[in-house]
């Protein structure tokens, strides 16, 4: 099963890198609305069931690559997002793209945190495929697992300690 996830994820990631992204439509046209949330975060609710909690000061752009009026990815350049994507059969996975990584899912809840030279991905529920933006071997994370993606070095899946999870979730008002 793990091999199946990897193969599908890498085929998708490779095709995404080859095709590139279409210019994003404004969030209002992509079926999403924003409202203030706990601890100064911003909550985005989208009509396709996707929910995004953005850390105060996070820089990101909602994308509608296939131009169907619904977001299908987020380009995150700084700070953290908590993303919840409902399970749906088939279709393309939702992606979070950072300077270092691509994280893709079909239904789960996970956090992505971007700092100067690193992207950290943590899975609260479900499974997430993570690879570098450049070619290379990726990993699949399960519940409670995370990975730090830097420019070089292996992608090592780790079970995050409660202190690290709590610190990230607190930044996201959770």
Domains of the chain by residue range: 2-171
88 has pLDDT over 80: no
26 has pLDDT over 70: no
39 has pLDDT over 80: no
156 has pLDDT over 50: yes
3-state SS assignment for residue 20? coil
For residue 10, give Cα distances in angstroms to 17, 36, 95, 130, 167.
10, 36, 13, 9, 31
Find the mean pLDDT for residues 8-36: 46
Per residue in 13-24, pLDDT (tens digit) is: 322 322 222 223
Q: Which of 50, 27, 51 is nearest to 41 (CA)?
A: 51
160 has pLDDT over 50: yes
Query: Cα(131)–Cα(97) distance, rounded to whole angstroms?
Result: 10
DSSP class of residue 71 equals: -
Query: Cα(35)–Cα(121) distance, rounded to whole angstroms?
Result: 24
**Stated length of the chain:** 174
Place of tokens 């793990």: 2
Find the mean pLDDT for residues 19-47: 67
101 has pLDDT over 70: yes
Give the tokens for residue 124.
């609260």
User: Which one has a higher pLDDT value, 106 or 59?
Assistant: 59
138 has pLDDT over 60: yes
84 has pLDDT over 90: yes
Instruction: Judge whether 12 and 20 are in contact, CB under 8 Å.
Output: no
Q: What are phi and psi of 109, to 5 degrees?
A: -130, 120
Q: Which of 124, 86, 108 is nearest to 5 (CA)?
A: 108
Give the tokens for residue 129.
């495929």
User: Which one has a higher pLDDT value, 22 or 86?
Assistant: 86
Find the mean pLDDT for residues 40-45: 92
110 has pLDDT over 80: yes
Average per-residue pLDDT in the chain?
82
- CATH class assigned to 2-171: mainly beta
Q: Which of 106, 101, 83, 77 is nearest to 149 (CA)?
A: 101
pTM over the 0.85 mark: no
Find the mean pLDDT for residues 109-117: 93
Find the mean pLDDT for residues 78-96: 88
If one counts every other C-beta atom within 10 angstroms of the C-beta of residue 31, the result is 18
DSSP class of residue 143 equals: T
């Amino acid at each position: 099963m793990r091999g199946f996830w990897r193969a599908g994820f890498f085929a998708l990631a490779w095709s995404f890198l080859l095709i590139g992204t279409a210019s994003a439509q404004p969030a209002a046209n992509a079926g999403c609305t924003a409202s203030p949330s706990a601890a100064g975060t911003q909550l985005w609710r989208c009509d396709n069931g996707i929910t995004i909690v953005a850390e105060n000061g996070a820089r990101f752009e909602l994308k509608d690559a296939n131009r169907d009026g619904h977001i299908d990815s987020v380009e995150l350049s700084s700070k953290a997002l908590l993303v919840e994507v409902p399970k749906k059969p088939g279709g393309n996975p939702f992606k979070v793209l950072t300077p270092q990584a691509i994280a893709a899912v079909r239904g789960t809840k996970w956090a992505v945190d971007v700092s100067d030279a690193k992207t950290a991905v943590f899975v609260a529920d479900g499974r997430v495929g993570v690879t570098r933006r450049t070619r290379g071997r990726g990993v699949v994370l399960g519940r409670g697992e995370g990975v730090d993606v830097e420019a070089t070095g292996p992608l090592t899946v780790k079970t995050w300690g409660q202190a690290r999870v709590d610190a990230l979730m607190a930044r996201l008002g959770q």
